[in-house]
Every structure is written in structure tokens, then in C-alpha cells.
Amino acid sequence: MNDESKTVWLTSIDNPFNPFTRFDDWFRFDSFKQYNICNYIARIAIYSENMSENEKDKAIENAIDQIMKLNPYAKEIYRKVTPSSHFEIS
């Protein structure tokens, strides 16, 4: 999954790395903390290889929105981000 092309993504609130520009660092941090966000999104997103990239991106965004809406702990753990989001942890 090449996440650098996505327009939105899900990250943990404690991950200081930008998944759009530093995906490898972001992914290592995410894996170390055992959030497994890529797998979580893949389980929720409904898309197929026959879809266009824009349709896949929309399916991923819909999955992220579902996670944020239906997971009672989502706001304590995750945040929906865009390529221009600020990623430093205070």
C-alpha cells in the first residue's frame, strides 16, 4: 500500500511522523506501538483492484471515518490527517 498518494490517513495521536512524507518512520513507530493502523484500515475499507485510485482513496477515507465514528476510543487514540497536518507532538 503506497500511502504517500492518499489525501487522508489515520494516525495515532502519539506518532510524530508524517505518514505522507515519512511513511517508513511512521510505519515503524506504528508497528512498534502495535497500533497496526494499515491493517485496521484494510479490514474496514471496501474496495477492489478494479476500482480507480480515486475510488480506492474514497473507500479508505470512508473506512477512516467509520473507525473514528464507531470506535468508542478512537478520539483518544487516533486522528484523521491530511498531507498538510502538523505532526509534532507537544
Q: Residue ranges per domain, the chain?
A: 3-81
- Core vs surface per residue 32-64: b (16+ CB within 10 A) or e: eeebebbebbeebbebeeeeeeeebbbbbbebb
| pLDDT tens digit sequence for 44-74 | 999 898 999 999 999 999 999 999 999 999 9
Q: Copy the grid coordinates of residue 37.
A: 493502523
* DSSP secondary structure string for all residues of 15-69: --S-TTT-HHHHHHHHHHTT--HHHHHHHH----TTS-HHHHHHHHHHHHHHHHH
Q: What pLDDT does 47 receive? A: 87
Could you give the count of Cα atoms lying within 13 Å of 57 in the half-sphere of its Cβ? 11
With 80 as the cut, is the pLDDT of residue 2 above it?
no
pLDDT bucket at 89, cuts 50 / 70 / 90? low
pTM of the model: 0.83
With 70 as the cut, is the pLDDT of residue 4 above it?
no
- What's the whole-number mean pLDDT along residues 22-45? 96
